[in-house]
Amino acid sequence: MSLQLGTLEEMILIILLMKEETYGFEIAKEYKSQLNQSISLPAIHVVFKRLEKKGFVDSRMGDPTPERGGKGKRLYKATNKGYETAQELQHRRNEIWKVIPKLNFSPA
């Protein structure tokens, strides 16, 4: 299994896994809520394109709405491959943390 994901790609994928299907603006809101950091919609869409190209995300056009001048939103959904990859990354991260010596690290 290819685990080629950057940190931002991984964060967006994990947030997408929280939703059944969603669009960029909702991801930006959740990103801000979870990480207390802002992210631009263009940055999210670049990441979505990369994730889709890697097979971790699928997208479709939603129904047109009057609020958007008759245009639909592009909706995104994580694929099984995306879920399995995120799960494998988490498993590997947990395994690495298990071997870190428990030294006298104190909170700053």
Q: Return the closest-CA partner of residue 15 out of 86, 85, 94.
A: 86
The distance of Cα 89 from the centroid of its chain, to the nearest Å, equals: 13
Phi-psi region of 69 (alpha: psi -120 to 50; beta: other; left: phi over 0): left
Query: Per the structure block, which two tokens stand in for 87?
Result: 């799960």
In the chain, the amino acid numbered 86 is A
pTM to 2 decimal places: 0.82
pLDDT at 54: 95
**Mind listing the domains of the chain with CATH numbers?**
7-93 (1.10.10.10)
Q: Which SS3 state, helix, strand or coil, does residue 78 take?
A: strand
The phi, psi pair for 79, rounded to 5°, reads -95, 170
Per-residue pLDDT reduced to its tens digit, 30-67: 999 999 999 999 999 999 999 999 999 999 998 887 77
Percentages of the chain per state (helix, strand, coil), in multiples of 5: 55, 10, 35
pLDDT tens-digit readout, 75-103: 999 999 999 999 999 999 999 988 887 77
